[in-house]
Chains A and B, each alone.
Chain A
Amino acid sequence: MASRIVEIASTFLCVGFLVLSAGSAGATLRVVASTPDVADMTRQIGGDRVTVETIAAGGQDPHKVPVKPSFVTKLNRADVLVVNGLGLEHAFLPALLEVASNPKILSTGSAYIDASVYVQVLEVPTSQNRAQGELHPLGNPHIGLDPVRGKLMAQAIAEGLERADPAGAAAYQAGLASFQALLDRKIVEWQRLAAPLRGVKAVSYHQDLVYLADRYGLEMVGTIETKPGVPATPGHLEELVNRMKRDQVRLVIREVAYEMPLARTVAERTQARVATVSSLAGGLPGADSYVDFIEANLKALVQAVQGGTSS
């Protein structure tokens, strides 16, 4: 029987090595990005020197990304891993890396690029008490919603690509300069586009819009979730509705990964309008790139503030 075991094992080994040898090693840097935001930035910066695959999809809640074995093989073969950082990927990435057999893309490895390293972080908790909800220990991780912070994320990604592929340093610097110039132009446009948002009071479903609010002057007064990651309770909703009425909050922002009916109910009870935004690129139709994602969110918010409903 021992010989049968050896037979089975060796068959699998042979098949594996044959398939491996059939594949050709590409000249480009094989990048796996945890979210569509950092994936698009990496494409913009790396150009033809990189091929980028993404784990989370745009419309998904980052806390609920399925841990698929097909992601393991992508990570196993990756030259570089680019993450948003600040624990945004905690629900899926550690489990995948645990079995990916690729030490260089672990957080201690040379090919691990954390896009958040230069970003000024908001809402860093002063304690790790779970009575406050599912807090991210390093602060609010949804940094990509602010394009100015997006520029700094791009800088961290470019530097990481240079570390992994020094021969391409000039190309990555050029890619970064081009992407940041595009962002600079768009940031000016977006500042004007989002002018109607300044001073507008709003509630969101999850506590993930702090950077967007900080940039464009939205005043976030609460969330539909009781606490971060904790579903709404009837008591909390009653309190939220009363507060919205008292403070004359007229905007409910529903992130596309969260259900619409509850957001609509809250809006109906408070005569507020609902705006649907995404916390990741690719969450709204036609907004797959980072630039389109920021613009789609702002247009949805402005449209809702000016009298329409985006949903």
Chain B
Amino acid sequence: MEFHHVRALLHAAPLILLAIPGSAAMEEKDFAAIKAELDATKHELATTRTTLERVERRLDQLEASRAAPAQAPSGPRIAPVNADNPAISFVVDTTLQTDTHGSGWDFALRSGELFISAPIDPFLRGFATLNGSTEDGFDIEEAAVVTTALPWNLTVEGGRFFADVGRLPHWHDEALPFVDRPPSIDRLIGGESQSEGAQITWLAPTEHYIRVTGGLFNTIGAEYNEQLRDEGFDGYRDFSQLTFLVHPETYFDLTDTLNLELGTSFVTVPKHDQRYLYGIDATLRHQPGTSEFYQGLVIGSEWFWNEQKFDDVEVGTDPGTGDPIFADQHAHRNGGYAYLEAFLGRRYSVGIRGDYAEDAFGPANRQRTYSAFATWMPSEFQRLRFQFDQIDAAGEPDNQRFTLQWTAFLGSHSHGFANR
């Protein structure tokens, strides 16, 4: 744009005219004509300038818009066919463990877990977890269907799956924040809350988060399910032998970065075992969403109270005959854990955990476990974790256990809501 040259010429024009010999003697009318011509030229230049500025703006716009497609494509963007239908993932969870009891060294495949999930139709999705391990061999850990379109915020889940008990009992091993499931959960729930049955969940249609789950199962707990299968359980049992579950949970945003989750669990077998398990869980999270070294904190705890009738327990010896005396016995036991995990940087965390667990016959067989653990995630898809456990079990010498865990995730990998 050469406006400044033109403008300079215009400003210089009167001087040029004055410099012409004899110009002072020009007639008045000649001067008026020249002035009119000058005004016309100025006007023409102003018009040209406006036009050029408009063209310049348009050029800028065109340049700015060069990446925009001439015609927008229509329809939703669709992932390649079968990209996630079904979503398939495989988890490799291996450990190396030793202790000061002289047990030696143990390399173990803690879990090789194939997970498949997909929508079945507009109303249902299905999932299955097939698990193999050094200790337990191969098992179909879960195979279940879940409704996706029921009214009134209801969701029904049926099949074999981890019942919604407490917080950590329904987490898969590889998703736990520790290398092992807390001993109290192992003792009181029987490992994961694996169950065969059905549960219905209702999400309150409110601003405040309230979710209530009710369920009916053959039994709850991987260990108890295994026992049933080992005993040749044929699937039929009296209604009073079924296990009932109720699990309400709620959540509070205490501040923008601090929140609290609370839940209670109630599991019962009303008649046969006369089992009543009460649980309470609380999780406090600090999630500042910062890029600083300290990136957050989780404090979690669960406590369970269990009362259960055991049939034909040996309660003593007949003084006359010396024969053992058997009787039904009600046993009460407690257990729970609390842990703190701090997240440092984008890929590190460290934590401590304390666990107290009684077995079926109460405090006499209690176990206290104190643990410290550190986790490093080289990427989103693999994790290395070291854990030290100080185990204080009644009637046994103290034991120190060291575990190194290496976990990797193949294929589709997403974090489910339950494992948040």
Which A residues fall within an 8 A CB radius of B?
1-2, 5, 8-9, 12-13, 15-16, 19-20, 23, 57, 59-61, 63-70, 72-73, 76-77, 85-86, 90-92, 94-96, 98-101, 103, 106-108, 114, 116-118, 120, 130, 133-134, 137-138, 146, 148-149, 151-152, 155, 184, 187-188, 190-192, 214-215, 229-231, 256-260
Contacts and interface: CB of A to CB of B under 8 A. Distances in A.
Interface in B286-338: 287, 289-293
Contacts of B64: 148, 187-188, 190-191, 215
B291 A260 contact: yes
Contacts of A260: 291
A-B interface, 10 closest residue pairs, ranked by CB to CB distance from nearest: A16-B204, A69-B251, A118-B72, A69-B209, A101-B153, A67-B420, A19-B206, A95-B417, A103-B149, A187-B64
B341 to A, nearest CB: 14
B103 interface: no
B144 to A, nearest CB: 14
Given A106-B148, A191-B63, 19 more contacts: A1-B244, A1-B270, A8-B248, A9-B214, A12-B204, A66-B420, A68-B259, A73-B204, A73-B207, A73-B209, A99-B201, A99-B203, A101-B150, A117-B76, A118-B73, A138-B77, A187-B64, A188-B64, A192-B60
A5 B268 contact: yes
Nearest to A229: B380
A263 to B, nearest CB: 10
Contacts of A188: 57, 60-61, 64
A23 B379 contact: no
Contacts of B77: 85-86, 114, 116-117, 138
Contacts of A191: 60, 63-64
Contacts of B212: 9, 12-13
B294 to A, nearest CB: 11
A264 to B, nearest CB: 12
A148 B244 CA distance: 57
B245 to A, nearest CB: 9
B381 interface: yes
Report the contact-size class of chain B (Cβ under 8 Å from the partner): 35 or more
Contacts of B63: 191
A99 B57 contact: no
B320 to A, nearest CB: 39
A231 B346 contact: yes
23 contacts: A9-B246, A20-B204, A70-B253, A70-B259, A72-B417, A76-B203, A77-B205, A91-B414, A95-B417, A99-B201, A99-B211, A101-B154, A103-B148, A137-B79, A148-B64, A149-B67, A151-B68, A155-B72, A188-B57, A259-B291, A259-B292, A259-B345, A260-B291
Interface centre among A8, A16, A103, A116 (most CB of B within 10 A): A16
Contacts of B381: 130, 134
A15 B209 CA distance: 12
Interface string B119-161: 0001000000000000000000000000011100111000000
A259 B9 CA distance: 58
Interface string B54-70: 00010011011101110
A151 B64 CA distance: 12
B370 interface: no
Contacts of A67: 415, 417, 420
B402 interface: no
B205 A184 contact: no
B417 A99 contact: yes
